Structure 1
Amino acid sequence: MNLRPAAALAASALLATGLATLGAPAPASAATTAPPHRVLFDNSKGETAGNADWIISTAQPDPLAQNANPTTEKSWTGALSAWGVALQRTGQYSLKTLPAGSTISYGTGAALDLANFDTFVLPEPNIRLSTSEKSAIVRFVQNGGGLFLISDHNQSDRNNDGWDSPAIINDLLTNNGVNNNDPFGFSVDIANISTDNPRAVNDAADPVLHGPFGTVTGSILRSGTTFTLKPADNPKVKGIVYRTGYSGNTGAFFLTSGYGTGRVAAWGDSSPADDGTGQPGNNLFNGWNDPAGTNAALALNATAWLSKA
Structure 2
Amino acid sequence: MKKLILLSILFLTGCTQPAQFYDGQADVLFDAAHGQTAGEADWVIDGAFSSFNDVIRDMDYKTVSTDYDTTLTYEKLKQYKAVIIPEPNIPFKVEEQEAIQRFVGEGGSIMMIADHYNADRNLNRFDSSEIFNGYRRGAFDDITKGLSHDEKQSERMQNVKGSDFLSDTFGVRFRYNALNNVRIDADSAYDAFGLLDNVQSINMHAGSTIAITNPKIAKGIIYPGKLSQNDRWPHAVDQGIYTKGGKDEGAFVAISKYKKGKAVFIGDSSIVEDETPKYVREDNGNTKRTYDGIEEASHKVLLKNLVTWMMKPEAYTTLEGKVTSDQKTPLLRMEVPQQSKEPKQEPWGQPGHGYKWYDPTTFEQGSFGADSNKRVENKSVTKKSEPLEIQAPSSVYPGDYIKIDIYSQKQMKDVAIELIDSDGRQVGLFNGRPPGKSDTYNMSAKDNRFHCYFNGKIAREAVHSVTIKVYVKEQMIHIERIDINS
Q: Give the TM-score range, shorter chain.
A: 0.7 to 0.9
Q: Per-residue displacement from partner, 1:148-172 (whole Å, max 9, x unpaired)?
A: 0101011111111111101101107
Count, aligned residues: 240
**Is it true that 1:217 corresponds to 2:231 in the alignment?**
no
Q: Secondary structure at the match of 2:134?
A: helix
How has the CA–CA distance of structure 1 residues 238 and 247 changed in structure 2, closer, same or farther, with 3 Å as cutoff?
Answer: farther
- Rounded to whole Å, the distance in 1 between the matches of 2:219 and 2:248 is 9
Aligned partners of 1:141 and 1:176: how far apart in 2? 21
**What is the CA–CA distance in structure 2 between the aligned matches of 1:306 and 1:249, rounded to whole Å?**
26
Amino acid at match of 2:220: G
For 2:51 and 2:115, how far apart are their aligned partners in 1?
Answer: 19
User: Where does residue 32 of structure 1 map in the other structure?
Assistant: none
Match of residue 97 from structure 1: 65
Tell me the equivalent position of 1:288.
Answer: 294
Q: Residues 1-309 of structure 1 correspond to what in structure 2 (within 5 A)? A: 38-57=27-46, 78-90=47-59, 92-107=60-75, 113-171=76-134, 182-203=168-189, 206-210=193-197, 215-231=198-214, 234-245=215-226, 246-248=245-247, 250-279=249-278, 281-290=287-296, 293-308=297-312
Structure 1 unaligned blocks of 5 or more: 1-35, 58-77, 108-112
Residue identity opposite 1:283 in structure 2: R
Normalized per residue, which structure has more helix?
A: 1
Q: Which residue of 1 aligns with 2:157?
A: none
Q: Which runs of no fewer than 5 residues in structure 2 stay unpaired?
A: 1-24, 141-160, 227-244, 280-286, 314-486
Structure 1: which amino acid aligns with 2:72?
I
TM-score by length of 1: 0.72
Please give the per-residue CA displacement for 1:18-56, whole angstroms capped at 9, x wherever unaligned.
Answer: xxxxxxxxxxxxxxxxxx971111100000011001111
Deviations 1:245-283 (CA, angstroms, capped at 9, x unpaired): 244454210011110010011110000001222226111
**TM-score for both structures, normalised by structure 2:** 0.47
Contact 1:37 1:307 in 2 (8 A): no
Cα separation, 2, equivalents of 1:141 and 1:253? 21
CA contact (8 A) 1:150 1:270 kept: yes
Instruction: Give, in whole Å, the separation in 1 of the partners of 2:109 and 2:69.
Output: 23
Structure 2 distance, partners of 1:266, 1:295, is 14
Quote the Cα distance in structure 2 between the aligned partners of 1:85 and 1:276: 14
2:402 aligned partner = none
Distance 2:36 2:180 in 1: 21
| Higher RCO by CA contacts (8 Å cutoff, separation 6 or greater) | 1
1:149–1:172 distance in 2 versus 1, CA, 3 Å: farther
Shift of 1:200: 2.1
Say what the alpha-carbon RMSD is for the aligned residues. 2.4
Offset of residue 303 of structure 1:
1.2
Shift of 1:178: 11
CA contact (8 A) 2:167 2:213 kept: no
Cα pair 2:224 2:247 within 8 Å, conserved: no
